[in-house]
Amino acid sequence: MRVFIIFLPLLVSLGCGNPEPTKIPVNINSNVANANVTPKTAPVPVYDYTIVNTYPHDPRAFTQGLVYHDGFLYEGTGGKDGDNFYSWLRKVEIKSGKVLQQHDLSRDYFGEGITILNDKVYQLTWKEGVAFVYNLSDFSPAGQFRYSGDGWGLTDDGTNLYMSDGTHVIRVVNPDDFKTIRTIVVNDEKGQPLMNLNELEWVKGEIWANVWQSGWIMRIDPATGRLLGRIDLRKVAEEEQRQNRNADVLNGIAYDEAGDRIFVTGKMWRRMFEISLSQRP
C-alpha cells in the first residue's frame, strides 16, 4: 500500500509448496450457513501456489488495483508529485504487457484500488478522499464521489462495491452515491482484527484480500467476515524482489471467471503470474 522498496539479491524459482498436493478448486463453498458455529480458534486452510504462466509487467507500475475484464487486464497505480512514479489507469494486453489505453491522474492524487461495474471503472485515491468514475470504453470522466478515511482496495459483486481502508473493516458501498450500506469486520482465527486489508478481488462469492507487506492473500466470507483460507505467496514475492531490486510488495489480484484463472503481481514487479492453488496438507 505505502511506498516500501526492498533491495535483495538475485534468485529464480517457479513455485512453492509440497510435491503433488491435493488440487483444490477456486470456488470453495463459503458455507455461510455454518459460519456462526465455527470456533474462533479453528484453523483455516492454507493454500500454496503453482505458477501456470508468467507474463511481462511494467516495472514502473506501482500497482494498487488489478482487474480482468473481457480478455484484458485493467490496472490502477499509485504515486503523486514528489514520488518517482505517478498514478494512472490502464488497459493492458496480457501476453505482451502492451498498454492499449491509459488515463493519467492529476499529480495531486495518489491512485488506489479499481473495479469495473456496469461499464464504469471506479478508482479510489489514498488520502484525498475522492473516488473517480470513468467510462470503460474510453476512460472519459463519468463522475466522482467523496468518502471519509483512506482508500486502499476495491472490488464488486456485480451490484455493490467493496472497499478496504487499511484496517480490518471492509465497507459495502452503493455505487450510485458511494454511501456505506454496511460494514464487514474481518478477524483472524483467534478473533483478533486482521489489519492492513489492501487490494481486493471478488472470486466466486468470496472476497480475496491482499494483506499489505505480508505476502499473504486472505479468503473472506463477505456475509460474515469469517476467514475462509490463507494463500501463501511469500515465496513468489521474495523471488521477485531478489530478481528486481526495485520491486516492492505483493499487490494485485485479478480473476478471470470464464477461464477460472488467477493473476497476481506486485508494485514495480517485472512479472505478472497466473497461478493455481493447492491446499497444504
Name the residue among 40, 123, 115, 52 with its Cα closest to residue 87: 123
Angle (CA) 64-81-86 rounded to 5° is 35
Q: What are 41's three cell numbers?
A: 480458534
Q: Tell me, what's the pLDDT at 84? A: 78
pLDDT in tens, 93-146: 999 999 999 999 999 999 999 999 999 999 999 999 999 999 999 999 999 999
Q: How far is CA 80 from CA 128, 136, 203, in A?
A: 11, 23, 31
Give the residue-averaged pLDDT of 144-173. Answer: 98
Alpha carbons 85 and 123: distance in angstroms, whole number: 17
Q: Tell me, what's the pLDDT at 213? A: 95
Length reported for the chain: 281
Q: Tell me, what's the pLDDT at 40? A: 53
Give the residue-averaged pLDDT of 7-16. Answer: 35
Whether residue 37 has pLDDT greater than 90: no
How many other β-carbons are positioned within 10 Å of the β-carbon of residue 264?
28
pLDDT in tens, 206-229: 999 999 999 999 999 999 999 999
Angle (CA) 213-218-220 rounded to 5° is 140
Please provide residue 240's backbone torsions phi and psi, each rounded to the nearest 5 degrees: -65, -40
The mean pLDDT value of the chain amounts to 88
Task: Assign 29 a pLDDT band (cuts: 50, 70, 90).
Answer: very low
pLDDT in tens, 42-89: 789 999 999 999 999 999 999 999 999 999 999 999 998 878 788 999
Task: Assign 22 a pLDDT band (cuts: 50, 70, 90).
Answer: very low
Q: Tell me, what's the pLDDT at 6? A: 38
Q: What is the pTM of this model?
A: 0.85
**Class for domain 22-279, per CATH?**
mainly beta
Whether residue 205 has pLDDT greater than 70: yes
Q: Tell me, what's the pLDDT at 30? A: 38
Q: Pairing relation of β-strands 154-156 and 161-164?
A: antiparallel
Whether residue 7 has pLDDT greater than 50: no
